[in-house]
Amino acid sequence: MGRPDALGAGGPAETVVGFVNTREDTSGRIERFGTASDFAEWARENGLLADAVMSESEATAARELRSSLLTVMLAHSDHPGTAPEQVEGAEAQLAHAAELYPVKITLSVAGSSLESQGRGAAGVFGSVLAAANEVVQRGGWARIKACCSHPCEHGFVDRTKNGARRYCSSACASRAASRAMRGRQRKNPEQPTA
């Protein structure tokens, strides 16, 4: 039967996007990694953790990994506020995380898969990195994006035919267009509006 689509529902892309979308924002989302118990609860809800106790430093590590993934996703969306130095820093942090949270390769007749080797927080981080790697290997990494509308920056999977989507929703795209128009009007106040 084969593996499900990496970008499809329930696939590895959703694991990565779900991990990144744990941030607090002004739309009402709450911080899911604020404390060790919050992080552990989220990981259990998402089937990434059995019964393990998390530490506050592991919750901090989760926020750092999330931030690095978000920066890469913003770069995939061509977010104008993402500087090359930020992307380099995020890539270095992701490389460091890959060293800290190794995964194991399982080969079979049908292909290969990556799975986390760790338990507890290390297992959660390894699972997220393995999911990201699967998306990369299956050609979908550039379609894992974050909304270019500040402060939303909500992660999403770009399933459009041309892969050019930059906003998580039409509401965010509309808000960004309105902000851009107001900015142009401030620069040229004598320009008539349509």
pLDDT of residue 59: 96
pLDDT of residue 191: 59
Identify the DSSP state of 1.
-
pLDDT exceeds 50 at position 73:
yes
pLDDT exceeds 50 at position 97:
yes
Task: Please list the alpha-helical segments (H only) found in the chain.
Answer: 12-20, 36-45, 56-76, 84-100, 120-137, 170-187
Rounded to 5°, the CA angle 109-134-68 comes to 160
What does the pLDDT look like over 13-41, one tens digit per residue?
999 999 999 998 877 889 999 999 999 99
Lowest-confidence segment of 97-106, 124-133, 185-194 by average pLDDT: 185-194
Tokens 């194991």 label which residue?
A: 104
Segment 103-113 mean pLDDT: 87
pLDDT exceeds 60 at position 44:
yes
pLDDT of residue 179: 80
Question: 65: number of CA atoms within 13 Å, CB side?
Answer: 29
Confidence of residue 175 (pLDDT cuts 50, 70, 90): confident
Q: How far apart are CA 11 and CA 19, in angstroms?
A: 13
**pTM (2 decimals)?**
0.87
Residue 22 or 6, more confident: 22
Percent of the chain's residues with pLDDT above 70: 95
pLDDT exceeds 80 at position 2:
no
pLDDT exceeds 80 at position 194:
no
Segment 47-74 mean pLDDT: 93
